[in-house]
Homo-oligomer: A and B are copies of this chain.
């Protein structure tokens, strides 16, 4: 596939399209227009057509999109069919929640191993993923190709663990530590789940909503 440089905003919308298409498939919908897809996602039809046009032509004018074909195309664009491998570092509460509840396989990743320092965890397994001694990570990485690391270690270990991973050839990190792991110019690919950023955005929108309601009430009382 020919790849063109696509804006981050488009890339961020692709997983949403994928989720929606999965929902439609489950509901037995086999074909959908850009108008209806837009309505369900809160986007304009032209926005949707423009997003998809970045990657080639999927739909047919006046005919709509075939749900399974479009789903397969987006999955392929996202690299879900490339068989990436991953390891998880730090099996605390959050690491355990990911191991037990998050289906890496569904999203194209083979989670091969997890690592922790706690003796009582080492050698056990969660949903078929074995927990290894953190001390054996360098050796593991030298013997196994690992495309991405899921980083769930405490804040204080985040940067050192990242350096260990990148120095052993891991070039992509799914970061749950709430620490900015690398300098902006770094070549390591970091995707952050910043819980606090998300909660603060919620806080902002609640505040905005409250202020609007208060302003409306003040106008009514004038």
Contacts and interface: CB of A to CB of B under 8 A. Distances in A.
Interface residues of A, number: 66
Nearest to A97: B93
Interface in A32-80: 39-42, 77-80
Interface string A143-165: 00001100000000000000000
Contacts of A18: 200
Interface in A72-95: 77-80, 82, 84, 92-94
Contact of A172 (B102, B184, B206): B206
Contacts of A3: 208, 211-212
A112 interface: no
A178 to B, nearest CB: 7
**Most-contacted residue by chain B among A3, A100, A172, A200 (CB, 10 A):** A200
A1 B79 CA distance: 46
B93 A101 contact: yes
A195 B79 contact: no
Interface in A1-37: 3, 11-12, 14-16, 18-20, 23
A200 B93 contact: no
Interface stretch (A114-122, A132-140, A186-194): A186-194
A203 interface: yes
A142 interface: no
Interface in A173-200: 174, 178, 180, 184-185, 189, 191-200
Interface of A: 3, 11-12, 14-16, 18-20, 23, 39-42, 77-80, 82, 84, 92-94, 96-98, 100-102, 104, 106-109, 147-148, 171-172, 174, 178, 180, 184-185, 189, 191-212
